[in-house]
Structure 1
Amino acid sequence: MITEIGKVVALKGDRVWVQTIRTSACQSCAARNGCGQKVLAAASGGRANQILVANSVDARVGDEVTIGIDEQALLGASLLVYAVPLILMVVASILGHQWSGGHDGAAMLGAVLGLSAGFYAGRKFQRAGGKDYEPRLVRVNRVASENCL
């Protein structure tokens, strides 16, 4: 399970908004010059992210919590978002090129249609099994009311 620590900032019914701060391990990584994470961390400036998750551990506003997502769910979501559209784009481009007798315009149109179909299919698959791809609260690390003593 991939986890991240955050703070509950708001309640919304049976769900909570959890705020996390993007951190980067670039200072301790040997591959810092050849990695895109450093660029992403620099672009974000350490800004906070907020995510809405089901409140399965009875967290309250101000609690420090751990949120997590299963590695298999993350891998599946990555394949759905990246691989399916790209594979459909390549296949549709080849088919458009073949069916048109070698015209590049048909190949480009096929690529655009295949990519669009891939995004649409990915969205439909995600909605069908969306609960698997959502992060969830794993535990409350520190309760807000303990800090007031």
Structure 2
Amino acid sequence: MIEEQGRVIAREGDHVRVRTQRRSVCGGCAARGACGTSLLERLFSRRAAEVRALDRVGVEVGDEVVLAISAQGVLRLSLAAYLAPTLGLVLGAVAGNALGGAASDPLGLLGAGLGLTLALVWLRGYSRALARDPSRQPEVIRRLGAEPQRVTLLEP
């Protein structure tokens, strides 16, 4: 499970909106910001993100919470997001070149564009299907800062 901390900013039925603070990838690196990745992060990174998460704990607006999502689900979606457009582009270009004959370059370019477009349409449908699957959604697993309730036994 991948976990992230955040603050509940809104309720939506059995879901909540949580604002998370993105952590830097440079925190655990020995170079500590002396590389190209840290430069890109400073230039293009938004520090806060909002996540819609399933609430099974019963949190309120303003609570600090911990969110969790399946690492396997993130891996599958990442593979689909990177692999589908690349395969669509390459397979479309190869098919266009194969069918093009004398005009193989323009048809290869057209095939690449068509393959990429079809892959992106498929990816959109795939991500929407995953968004409807409760097992693939982030969920609130615990409230932070909550004191456990203590039970005191009184003797008669």
With the shorter chain as reference, the TM-score category is 0.7 to 0.9
- The corresponding residue for 1:106 is 107
Shift of 1:136: 1.5
Any residues of structure 2 matched to 1:4-15 within 5 Å, and which?
4-15=4-15
Distance 1:64 1:123, change over 3 A: same
Distance 1:52 1:18, change over 3 A: same
> What CA deviation, in whole Å up to 9, does each residue of 1:27-52 have, x standing for no partner?
5413554553x244313566321111
SS in 2 for 1:129: helix
Distance 1:27 1:76, change over 3 A: closer
SS in 1 for 2:18: strand
Q: For residues 27 and 111 of structure 2, what CA distance do their matches in structure 1 show?
A: 44
Could you tell me whether the CA contact under 8 Å between 2:54 and 2:137 is conserved in 1?
no
- The corresponding residue for 1:137 is 140
Any residues of structure 2 matched to 1:68-79 within 5 Å, and which?
68-79=68-79
- Counterpart amino acid of residue 119 in structure 2: G
Distance 1:51 1:27, change over 3 A: closer
Q: Taking every aligned residue pair, what percent have the same amino acid on both sides?
A: 34
Shift of 1:57: 1.1
- The corresponding residue for 1:58 is 58
Q: Which moves more between the two structures, 113-122 or 41-50?
A: 41-50
- Counterpart amino acid of residue 106 in structure 1: L
Structure 2 unmatched ranges of 5 or more: 147-156
Distance 1:95 1:128, change over 3 A: same
- Counterpart amino acid of residue 41 in structure 2: A
Any residues of structure 2 matched to 1:86-101 within 5 Å, and which?
86-101=86-101
Shift of 1:125: 2.3
Could you tell me whether the CA contact under 8 Å between 1:9 and 1:19 is conserved in 2?
yes
Structure 1 unmatched ranges of 5 or more: 144-149
Q: For residues 58 and 8 of structure 1, what CA distance do their matches in structure 2 show?
A: 11
Shift of 1:99: 0.4
> What CA deviation, in whole Å up to 9, does each residue of 1:99-136 have, x standing for no partner?
00152111111111101111111222233333244222
Whichever of the two has the greater Rg, that structure is: 2
Shift of 1:26: 1.4
Alpha carbon RMSD of aligned pairs, Å? 2.1
Distance 1:67 1:121, change over 3 A: same
Equivalent residue pairs, number: 142
TM-score scaled to structure 1, two decimals?
Answer: 0.83
